[in-house]
A and B are shown apart, each in its own frame.
Chain A
């Protein structure tokens, strides 16, 4: 009985706090994405800028470790029974990648363009078989080019 109460309260806490935190995070992501909209990020290796105009090139990177809440983890493990789209993990990956990209842009400062951007994802914190997913790191890196005015 006690176990059930603990389980249900954790579920409620995960649902309440998790949903609230996710909404807030998405709002902040959208805001900062709008602020950094003038800095193009491309996966091309070179852009159409004359070589002699480029003043500096430097490596920029950003990363974020995001985990899912308890409620979503239970939801995903239920989904494992029937198969199909695991919607609760989609937002996790989306948040981690967008946050990593934003941090990379912040590091670039007043650069003109970021070329050859790569995004890498790795699951960290494998503690046991029971909870092997739920915490992952996304990392974005690229080369920031600054063009002289």
Chain B
């Protein structure tokens, strides 16, 4: 599966469009990480636990998007975008969407 965030796949031609595919996941941080993060909040700097958590969740959202595209029979996803929104206190939604295409 080729994934790009430009309109085409360079070096290949788009043969067929399948339309929008998307994947999302909502994650809440667990209490241990929350405690560590609030301690780390005092001195500042990178919150590695959160970075990792968000990265894992984003990967999961992408996996879901890829799975959807695969079911349609696509072999590439172009023009992929990401968005993040906080739905509730301490929970974030990570969303990935793009256009499934078949390239030759």
Give residues in A with beta carbon < 8 Å to B: 10, 13-14, 17-18, 21-22, 25, 45-46, 49, 51-55, 57-59, 61, 63-70, 72, 92, 99, 115-116, 118, 120, 122-127, 131, 134-135, 137, 139, 141-143, 145
Contacts and interface: CB of A to CB of B under 8 A. Distances in A.
Contacts of B42: 10, 13-14, 17, 69-70
29 contacts: A14-B44, A17-B42, A18-B44, A46-B6, A51-B11, A54-B10, A57-B11, A59-B5, A63-B51, A67-B37, A67-B40, A67-B47, A69-B42, A70-B41, A116-B6, A118-B5, A122-B86, A122-B92, A123-B86, A124-B54, A124-B84, A125-B29, A125-B37, A125-B50, A126-B89, A134-B41, A139-B84, A141-B82, A143-B6
Interface in B31-51: 37-38, 40-47, 50-51
Interface of B: 2-7, 9-11, 29, 37-38, 40-47, 50-51, 54-55, 58, 80-86, 89-90, 92
A145 B84 contact: no
B103 to A, nearest CB: 10
Contacts of A57: 2, 4, 6, 9-11
Main secondary structure of the interface of B (DSSP, over half): mixed
A99 B55 CA distance: 14
A10 B44 CA distance: 12
Nearest to A21: B45
Given A99-B46, A124-B92, A127-B89, A143 B5 contact: yes
B92 to A, nearest CB: 6
B58 to A, nearest CB: 8
Contacts of B43: 13-14, 17-18, 21, 69-70
A126 to B, nearest CB: 6
A52 B11 contact: yes
A70 B18 CA distance: 50
B47 A135 contact: yes
Nearest to A62: B55
Contact of B55 (A63, A118, A123): A63
Given A63-B51, A125-B37, 7 more contacts: A25-B45, A57-B2, A64-B51, A65-B50, A118-B81, A126-B89, A131-B41
Contacts of B41: 67, 69-70, 131, 134-135
